[in-house]
């Protein structure tokens, strides 16, 4: 157990587990980041831009520093939770959940990558389903957003499969070059219509307090152990 509540959160499905990204777990994932398994085509957004460092050690260093900065700037209107995804105890990717003005709007955004050797096996979809369960069931989110480059077939397919609706486009950069992004939106009602009963949350209650979430959630309290 960590004295820092967000590092005790985990989400378990029948297929995989998202475990809060402690330094030890970042160490599990670091060889994949060093090997370029996070930023192979199609590339994620410039998030963190250190993924595009050509030197493997600098790539890992910048990636870890970005996560530490994110951990250190948690406020009720701006927070980000970082998870390492494990299948049978093998690290396979990273799944993050960000709250922007969460206290006002209850909206979250998810970001993820799956290591190249594990793509195309349903893991990205399962990771997203797990983080949505944490957002809606554990944190009482009202709406989840996602964005993928317009030609990022995998990312956009995950959103479509999980019931998101198209929500316009916006520009972002990939390694400095402008790229059109497809925005996606999943309402609480749409999530509830396909809600899964085989996903378990752990450690959510104390984490809610750290994030400044004061909406009562009996489920989150039950899960907060």
The span from the first CA to the last CA of the chain, in angstroms, equals 10
Q: Would you report the helix, strand and coil content of the chain in percent, each value rounded to 5?
A: 40, 30, 30
Which of 112, 217 has the CB closer to ligand COA?
112
Give every CB contact of residue 31 below 8 A, 6+ residues apart in sequence.
none
| Per-residue burial over 65-75, b = 16 or more CB atoms within 10 Å of its CB, e = otherwise | ebbeebbeebe
Task: Tell me the closest approach of the beta carbon of residue 119 to ligand COA, in angstroms.
Answer: 3
Structure tokens at 139: 């944190």
3-state secondary structure of 5: helix
Task: Tell me the closest approach of the beta carbon of residue 172 to ligand COA, in angstroms.
Answer: 10
Residue with CB nearest ligand COA? 124
Which of 115, 141 has the CB closer to ligand COA?
115
Task: Tell me the closest approach of the beta carbon of residue 9 to ligand COA, in angstroms.
Answer: 20
Q: Report the interface residues with ligand COA, using CB under 6 A.
A: 42, 44-45, 111-114, 119-125, 148, 152-155, 157-158, 161
Which of 25, 128 has the CB closer to ligand COA?
128
Task: Tell me the closest approach of the beta carbon of residue 196 to ligand COA, in angstroms.
Answer: 15
């Amino acid at each position: 157990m960590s004295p820092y509540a967000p590092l005790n959160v985990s989400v378990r499905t029948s297929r995989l587990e998202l475990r809060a990204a402690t330094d030890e777990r970042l160490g599990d994932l670091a060889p994949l980041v060093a090997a370029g398994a996070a930023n192979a085509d199609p590339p994620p957004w410039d998030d963190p831009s250190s993924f595009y460092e050509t030197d493997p050690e600098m790539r890992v260093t910048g990636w870890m520093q970005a996560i530490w900065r994110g951990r250190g700037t948690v406020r009720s209107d701006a927070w980000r939770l970082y998870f390492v995804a494990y299948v049978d105890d093998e690290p396979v990717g990273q799944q993050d959940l960000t709250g922007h003005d969460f206290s006002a709007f209850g909206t979250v955004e998810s970001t993820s990558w799956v290591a190249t050797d594990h793509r195309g096996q349903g893991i990205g979809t399962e990771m997203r389903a797990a983080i949505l369960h944490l957002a809606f069931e554990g944190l009482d989110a009202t709406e989840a957003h996602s964005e993928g480059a317009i030609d990022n077939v995998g990312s956009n397919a995950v959103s479509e499969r999980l019931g998101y609706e198209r929500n316009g486009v916006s520009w972002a950069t990939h390694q400095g070059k402008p790229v059109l992004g497809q925005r996606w939106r999943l309402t609480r009602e749409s999530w509830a219509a396909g809600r899964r009963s085989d996903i378990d949350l752990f450690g959510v209650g104390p984490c809610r307090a750290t994030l400044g979430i004061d909406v009562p959630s009996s489920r989150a309290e039950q899960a907060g152990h």
